[in-house]
């Protein structure tokens, strides 16, 4: 079974803090994704990575950065957390195969509260 | 840009009954994939069913089936013989078949929260 794990289920941070959300997958997937989930808005893509050190902006990258130094790990960084970044953050991974579809597997999510 | 719309924020069904969740989408592409994902309370999101746009036959996975109407850009999910474990948030999602980059991303609807009454 594919396993995608996230470092924390719940996290509480203060405004202005630097926040790291970690995601690890154990199936040698090339693609990794960070989504933000908000009620009434569904899931929105923040960043995605298709290889080590490679990244692309998603739909809402402002206020976030990412790091992928190893294939299995994809980190989401909030450089200076703000209250409007309070949300559920979901990580996902998938194989890369060009046009063909490969299922995205999701982690359990991190519910971040910024006070 | 592609969009996915789920017009039912909440639905309820009696155990053992059938329920249909609606999804419409907008795209100018001819080749794409459509998905239904299930997110149970406090649990990981999992794929329920997928449909390739070039296939005319509707996808089926056990009690879950879809009604894919390409011309109408409609993709509804039917759950038969509903069970308590089907209670979850259901997301409809779209993915382009075009090659490369962020076109691999999933575009999600806003979700439908399904309650199953015993």
Which DSSP helix (H) or strand (E) runs through B33? strand B32-39
Whether residue A90 lies within 8 A of chain B, CB to CB, comes out as yes
Instruction: Return the bridge partners of A114, or none.
Output: A13
pLDDT score of B102: 56
**Is the Cβ of A103 closer than 8 Å to some Cβ of chain B?**
yes
Q: Can you tell me the distance from the alpha carbon of A13 to that of A25, in angstroms, rounded to the nearest whole number?
A: 25
Neighbours of B1 (CB within 10 A): 7
Q: Is pLDDT at B5 greater than 80 in this prediction? A: yes
- Domain spans of chain B? 3-98+105-117
* CB–CB contact A103 B47 (8 Å): yes
Rounded average pLDDT over B45-73: 94
- Please compute the mean of the pLDDT values over residues B18-30 and round it to a whole number: 95
Question: Among partner residues A35, A98, A107, which is closest to B44 by beta-carbon distance?
Answer: A107
Percent of chain B with pLDDT over 90: 78
- Output the pLDDT for position A1: 67
**Strand, coil or helix: what is B81?**
coil
Q: Does A107 touch chain B (CB under 8 A)?
A: yes
A54 vs A29, A50, A69, B67, CA distance in Å? 14, 6, 9, 38
| A50 chain-B contacts, CB cut-off 8 A | 101, 104
Retrieve residue A67's tokens.
């790091």
**Fold observed for domain A4-95+106-114:** Immunoglobulin-like (2.60.40)
Which residues 3-32 of B have a C-beta within 8 angstroms of A? Answer: 4, 6, 9
pLDDT at B118: 94
Asked if A107's CB is within 8 angstroms of B46's CB, the reply is no
Superfamily (CATH H level) for B3-98+105-117:
Immunoglobulins (2.60.40.10)
The full 3-state SS of chain A, as one line of letters, equals CCCEEECCCEEEECCCCCEEEEEEECCCCCEEEEEEEECCCEEEEEEEEEECCEEEECCCCCCCEEEEEECCEEEEEECCCCHHHCEEEEEEEECCCCCCCCCCEECCCEEEEEC
Query: Of how many residues is chain A composed?
Result: 115
B-chain residues near A31 (CB < 8 A): 104
HSE (CB half, 13 Å, CA atoms) of A25? 26
Structure tokens at A96: 């890369």
Q: Flag whether pLDDT at B100 surpasses 80.
A: no
Task: Give per-residue pLDDT as tens, B61-80.
Answer: 999 999 999 999 999 999 99
CA A6 – CA A25 distance, rounded (Å):
9
Q: Does A48 touch chain B (CB under 8 A)?
A: yes
Q: Residue ranges of chain A with pLDDT lower than 70?
A: 1-2, 97-101
| B79 closest CA partner among B88, B70, A3 | B88
Phi, psi of A85 (to 5 degrees): -100, 5
Distant-in-sequence contacts of A60-66, Cβ < 8 A, 24+ apart? A60/A36, A64/A34, A66/A34
CB contact under 8 A, B111 and A109: no
Q: Mean pLDDT across the stretch B48-65?
A: 94
Parse chain A into domains and list their residue ranges. 4-95+106-114
């Amino acid at each position: 079974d594919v396993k995608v794990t996230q470092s924390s289920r719940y996290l509480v941070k203060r405004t202005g803090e630097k926040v790291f959300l970690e995601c690890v997958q154990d199936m040698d997937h090339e693609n990794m994704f960070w989504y933000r989930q908000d009620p009434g808005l569904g899931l929105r893509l923040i960043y995605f990575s298709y290889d080590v050190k490679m990244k692309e902006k998603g739909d809402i990258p402002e206020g976030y950065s990412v790091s992928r130094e190893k294939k299995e790990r994809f980190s989401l960084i909030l450089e200076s957390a703000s209250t409007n970044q309070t949300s559920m953050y979901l990580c996902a991974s998938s194989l890369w195969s060009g046009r063909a579809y490969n299922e995205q597997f999701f982690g359990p999510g991190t519910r971040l509260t910024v006070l | 840009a592609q969009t996915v719309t789920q017009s039912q924020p909440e639905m309820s069904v009696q155990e053992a009954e059938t329920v249909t969740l609606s999804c419409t989408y907008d795209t100018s592409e001819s080749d794409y994939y459509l998905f239904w994902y299930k997110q149970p309370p406090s649990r990981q999101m999992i794929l329920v069913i997928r449909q390739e746009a070039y296939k005319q036959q509707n996808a089926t996975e056990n009690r879950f089936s879809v009604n894919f109407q390409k011309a109408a850009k409609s993709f509804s999910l039917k759950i038969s013989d509903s069970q308590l474990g089907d209670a979850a948030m259901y997301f409809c999602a779209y993915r382009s078949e075009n090659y490369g980059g962020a076109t691999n991303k999933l575009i999600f609807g806003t979700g439908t929260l399904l309650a199953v009454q015993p």
